[in-house]
Structure 1
Amino acid sequence: MSSRYTILPRLVEILAETEGCAPHELDYSLQEYIETDALVTLAAADHTDWQLTFQVPDHTVEIRGSGEILVDDTRYEQPEEVKNQTS
């Protein structure tokens, strides 16, 4: 995955969009529900054959090694510039 692509800001943006609020208005922190350092390490791995599922308030989150993020089965793909760099 590109060093310019960070999973955490994208995930927070997606969760905020799902909640209909700004990222700083979320009622929780990701660190309360997942070890964020481990997620960053996993997302930076060379292999893409993995997926991670966890819960945050009112939502199920699934992150795949392909860069896809799913929140309650709604799929969010990785940004196009990242796809082009990892192809």
Structure 2
Amino acid sequence: MQQFLPEQIIDEIATEKNVEPEHLELQLQRYVSTDAIQALANHENRAWRLQFKTPNHVVEIAGDGTVLVDGQ
């Protein structure tokens, strides 16, 4: 089963900050609609990309499940 994409984004940001996800003080939904992200992830067409900013990071996600934080 594929991980819920917003959770994967939080995990990747936490990894970038070198903290556990539960210690990350970030409410993702303040910067992007997590419902919209998951709707994109559930869509049949995988030819999409979405980029958004949080206070300290640029996050890019793609239809193939790739999540990049600050380009990594």
Q: So what's the TM-score if we normalise by structure 2?
A: 0.91
Once the two structures are superposed, the pairs formed by residues 13-28 of structure 1 within 5 Å of their partners are: 13-28=11-26
Retained in 1: the 8 A contact 2:12–2:68?
Answer: no
Q: Any stretches of 5+ residues in structure 2 without a counterpart?
A: none
2: distance between equivalents of 1:9 and 1:39? Answer: 11
2: distance between equivalents of 1:9 and 1:59? Answer: 16
Q: Deviations over 1:21-74 (max 9, x none)?
A: 111111211011110001000011010111000001211000001111111110
- 3-state SS of 1:40 partner: helix
RMSD of aligned alpha carbons: 0.9
Q: Match for 1:11: what amino acid?
A: I
- 3-state SS of 1:28 partner: coil
The percentage of counterpart residues that share the same residue type is: 34
Which structure 1 residue ranges, 4+ long, deviate > 3 Å from structure 2? none
Q: Any stretches of 5+ residues in structure 1 without a counterpart?
A: 75-87
1: distance between equivalents of 2:47 and 2:69? Answer: 19
Retained in 1: the 8 A contact 2:49–2:62?
Answer: yes
Q: So what's the TM-score if we normalise by structure 1?
A: 0.77
